[in-house]
Amino acid sequence: MRLLVICLFALLVVLSLLGSGTLNGVVGAPGGVPSSVTQWWGSLEPLARQYEVDPLLIAAVMMQESGGDPRARSWAGANGLMQVLDGPFEPNSNLESGIRILATNLKTFKNVRAALAAYNAGPGMSDADVASNPAQRFAGVRGAARQAGASVADFDKYYVYLPAETRKYVPAVMAYYERFSNGTATLSATGGPIRMPLDKFSWTPTFGKDIGNGQAAHSGEDLMAPCGTPVKAAFNGTIVYRGCLYGNCRDGGATNGATGHGLVVIEQFDANRYAVYAHLANYVTDRDVKAGDMVGTIGMTGWTLGCHLHYAIWNGSLDDLLKDGGKGWVDPKQYFPTAVLSQ
């Protein structure tokens, strides 16, 4: 009996260690990432903080590139965990090289999918450099955008001009990223990282429908939650506007004569793309934000019949958004994590 108790206790300890990611000294490693990758977490996570890159995105890249094998080598001469071209095999040096490249791509292109495409196919030459290297005119991300006649920010417009390998690589990494993020990351028009602005809510799809609020087509989705619920940034971005939108900021909703969207926070998260968080009670920040940072709380300002967050996405200029140009609203569900859409 005593032996059975000891065995059961030992089993509970092992399960606890597995759940917390501390087995084999891997402290703080996420549970959904394979052990072949989390074995490097002690080096990966500090470098992720240093270069300000989501460690789960790095893990997704490593999983696709090498599966966590430090001896991996490609036919093109890419080496190690992060498959750095002509890079070192030593794990820590290879990790830093790969993360530095990924961080540079993210800062250059400001779009996760474009950054991943550049990691695989190269960033391509600038307009100034391509004049003396015409053979490289359509190489890499800049080359694909140049061939499509599009800005590097408009990934969807030049995606088809990327190499076939890259067109497979980007969604493969994003699939790992979503899996490692437990469904909170998604492959969208901008590539994430994104989340829902509320942690808990109920909703019924109404975008584009007449819901009786004076709009022929509802401009977003209404996420139902109690007044006072924290509203969080859905993207990494910049707060570009806080104030009244399309009416007065009167509190108390439609029954109190309130009109428009009430108090709003507008976050720019990509070129000409904005997230609108409406019917707020207050604001929290007017600075750069990361997905998950609190930006306000749910209230009843503007035309509303009850406590909820009106969440909308605008594609166009900020000036047109503030003037209610009307034609820039896009379905926010394309930015919803798949875990929400599958509920």
- The answer on pLDDT for 339 being more than 80 is no
CA distance 81 to 117: 18
The pLDDT, as a whole number, for residue 276 is: 96
* 65 carries an active-site annotation: yes
In tens, the pLDDT along 244-298 reads: 998 888 898 888 888 889 999 999 988 788 999 999 999 886 778 888 889 999 9
Q: Which of 45, 52, 65, 267 is the catalytic position?
A: 65
The pLDDT confidence band at residue 135, using thresholds 50, 70 and 90, is confident
The pLDDT, as a whole number, for residue 13 is: 44
The rounded Cα 238 to chain-centroid distance in angstroms is 14
Interval 86-101 mean pLDDT: 96
Q: Nearest to residue 325, comparing CAs of 310, 335, 312, 315? A: 315
Interval 191-207 mean pLDDT: 79
In tens, the pLDDT along 310-319 reads: 999 998 899 9
Q: Is 23 helix (H, G, I), strand (E, B) or coil?
A: helix
- The answer on pLDDT for 104 being more than 60 is yes
Task: Please name the residue that has the structure tokens 């584009």.
Answer: 208
The pLDDT, as a whole number, for residue 252 is: 87
Strands (E), the chain: 78-79, 84-85, 202-203, 221-224, 230-232, 237-245, 262-270, 273-283, 288-289, 294-298, 308-315, 329-330
- The answer on pLDDT for 38 being more than 90 is yes
The pLDDT confidence band at residue 15, using thresholds 50, 70 and 90, is very low
The dihedral through the CA atoms of 329, 330, 335, 340 has a sign that is: positive
Domains of the chain (ranges; CATH) run 20-180 (1.10.530.10), 202-341 (2.70.70.10)
The pLDDT, as a whole number, for residue 214 is: 67
The pLDDT, as a whole number, for residue 24 is: 35
CA distance 290 to 172: 24
The pLDDT, as a whole number, for residue 211 is: 75
The pLDDT, as a whole number, for residue 290 is: 83
- The answer on pLDDT for 62 being more than 90 is yes
- Structure tokens, 136: 């490289």
Backbone φ, ψ for residue 262 (5° rounding): 70, -150
The pLDDT, as a whole number, for residue 180 is: 84
- Structure tokens, 252: 């108390």
- The answer on pLDDT for 27 being more than 70 is no
- The answer on pLDDT for 89 being more than 80 is yes
The pLDDT confidence band at residue 188, using thresholds 50, 70 and 90, is very low
pTM reported for the whole predicted model:
0.52
Classify each residue of 49-84 as buried b or exposed e, where b means 16 or more C-beta atoms within 10 Å of its C-beta.
eebebbbbbbbbbbbbbbebebebeeeeebbbbbbb
Mean pLDDT, the chain, rounded, equals: 84
The pLDDT, as a whole number, for residue 174 is: 84
Do the Cβ atoms of 295 and 231 come closer than 8 Å?
yes
The pLDDT confidence band at residue 193, using thresholds 50, 70 and 90, is low
- The answer on pLDDT for 189 being more than 70 is no
Do the Cβ atoms of 281 and 301 come closer than 8 Å?
yes
Cis peptide bond N-terminal to 193, omega within 30: yes
